[in-house]
Chains A and B, each alone.
Chain A
Amino acid sequence: MSQVILEISHLHKVFDTVTVIEDLSLTVHEGEVVVIIGPSGCGKSTLLRCINALETIQGGEIKLHGNTVSKNSKDLHEIRQKIGMVFQNYELFPHMTVLDNVMLAPVKAQGRKKSEVREEALALLKRVGLESKADSYPRQLSGGQKQRTAIVRALCMHPEILLFDEVTAALDPQMVREVLEVILDLANAGKTMLVVTHEMQFARAVADRIVFFDDGQIIEQAAPDEFFDHPKTDKAKQFLNTFTFERDRSTTNRA
């Protein structure tokens, strides 16, 4: 197997008195796309937030390329530069143009040359079909365009791993596709990714491995076809059933 990028061992996360993640271990290899699915509120997003130390952890260890990620480490911002994160609500900087949003961190945090970053940013924007929006402000974009910008912003840092935290959850249905296609494209390009999503078909298409997560623990992990066609645990079966039911109802409501 190829090189290990991310290694989480015995992670423990507690909010006040509630244990959110319990003794979780997970390894992601270079070029691998791992998709985490599970019921709402089971700790998936918290897990992603722990990985780049937006949350403190109460036990265990997270290592990126052998370097420990911890809220206390001095070089935290350098480690974070290697972890690209895309949020559910885009979180673009509203006072900057699309291009400035993308260029800010590479220029200021990584100290790269402005002209070089600009060229790359424009190329990346073009790749996701946003070259004409470079000088627009976030408020002038649709949700899908905002999210594609956020992905480009993360990409431009040359991260070793990309974390996607339910990036289509806040989008109108017709915009979901344009964002998911960008992620699929990145998967094909061999990017290492950890994706939390509720889009089951997409999960199946993009994943090299599905991790089913519930009550702060990994219940089951398998290749996508195996997981969706032959889930082993009762919890996973139940979840997949529930999901189909919920999905049917929501489509009816929408129509």
Chain B
Amino acid sequence: MPDMGFDVLLKGKNFLRLLGGLGVALKISLMSVLISIILGTVLGILWHHNNLFIKAVMRSYLEVIRIMPQLVLLFIVYFGTTRSFGWNLSGETASVIVFSLWGTAEMSDLVRGALISISAHQYESAFALGLGKAQVYLYVILPQAIRRLIPLSINLVTRMIKTTSLVLMIGVVEIIKVAQQIIEANRMSSKNAAFGVYLTVFVMYFLACWPISLLARKLEKRWR
């Protein structure tokens, strides 16, 4: 059997450290996802209203965020704004800000799309029943929109989790960074550590994202 380099994981606290790194990645993603879903929903609803000003602002926001690589955004927020505005941001905070900016933009677009896909007649029949505007959204439109949103937003969430691997570039010690450290530290004793460690990282990412996909499939089935 070839040397796959799994042995390093058994040395000292290496495996636990790797798990800790995964924890950091998940913490950043979950906070960003939470913020993105809330803000994205609110902005998506606002966007859906036919206010030209809001439309223009949202359109530019989305385009800017989409065009810019997440890495550039991270650098701007972490290195750029801290220098220019003189505030102090930890790598993790900067990461959450960037991922929330990105997630909110994408989420609001998804919400807007889901709202548009619901026919005008649904609004009309709800209004015709004498429901107030908030009630129409709360009981009729949003429940339907959310059902349509599930597959799309799950896709976004898993994308966000995966993309947190970029935050090692601003010095956040997350799972990939920990993996690198372990491999570097064992360069002499275990030459093939890269394979085993990164494979473990892969499995960990998979285990983190898979339940989310499962949940989404379950919800989709229940609501069909």
Chain A contact residues, CB within 8 Å of chain B: 52, 54, 77-83, 85, 87, 89, 91-95, 104-105, 108-110, 150, 153-154, 157
* Contact between B131 and A109, CB atoms less than 8 A apart: yes
Interface residues of B in 118-169 (CB under 8 A from A): 121-122, 124-132, 135, 139-140, 143-144, 147
User: Do residues B143 and A105 form an inter-chain contact, with CB atoms below 8 A?
Assistant: no
B194 to A: closest C-beta gap in Å: 50
Contact present for A91 and B223 (CB under 8 Å): no
Decide: A93 and B128 in contact? CB cutoff 8 A. Answer: no
Pairwise interchain contact A91-B122, C-beta atoms closer than 8 A: yes
Which 4 A-B residue pairs are closest in the complex by CB-CB distance?
Answer: A81-B130, A91-B125, A105-B129, A80-B130
CB–CB B147/A104 < 8 A: no
> A105 CA to B131 CA in the complex, in Å?
6
Which residue from A52, A92, A108, A110 sits with its C-beta under 8 Å from B128?
A: A52
Contact B132 A77 (CB under 8 A): yes
Q: Which of B121, B129, B131, B147 has the most CB of A within 10 A?
A: B129
Task: For residue A152, give the distance in angstroms from its CB to the closest CB of chain B.
Answer: 12
Q: A93-B140, A95-B143 are in contact. Are A87 and B124 (CB under 8 A)?
A: yes
Q: Min CB distance, B163 to chain A, in Å?
A: 32
CA of A77 to CA of B134 in the docked complex: distance in angstroms?
12
CB–CB B122/A80 < 8 A:
no
> B147's contact among A80, A95, A153, by CB below 8 Å, is which?
A95
Interface centre among B128, B135, B143, B147 (most CB of A within 10 A): B128
Q: Which residues of A contact B135 (CB under 8 A)?
A: 108-109
Q: A95-B223, A104-B139, A108-B135 known; A78 and B126 CB under 8 Å? A: no
Q: How far is the CB of A194 from chain B (nearest CB, A)?
A: 14
Q: Shortest CB–CB separation between residue A151 and chain B, in angstroms?
A: 12
A153 proximity list for chain B (CB < 8 A):
129
Interfacial residues of chain B within 97-137, with CB under 8 A of chain A in the complex: 121-122, 124-132, 135
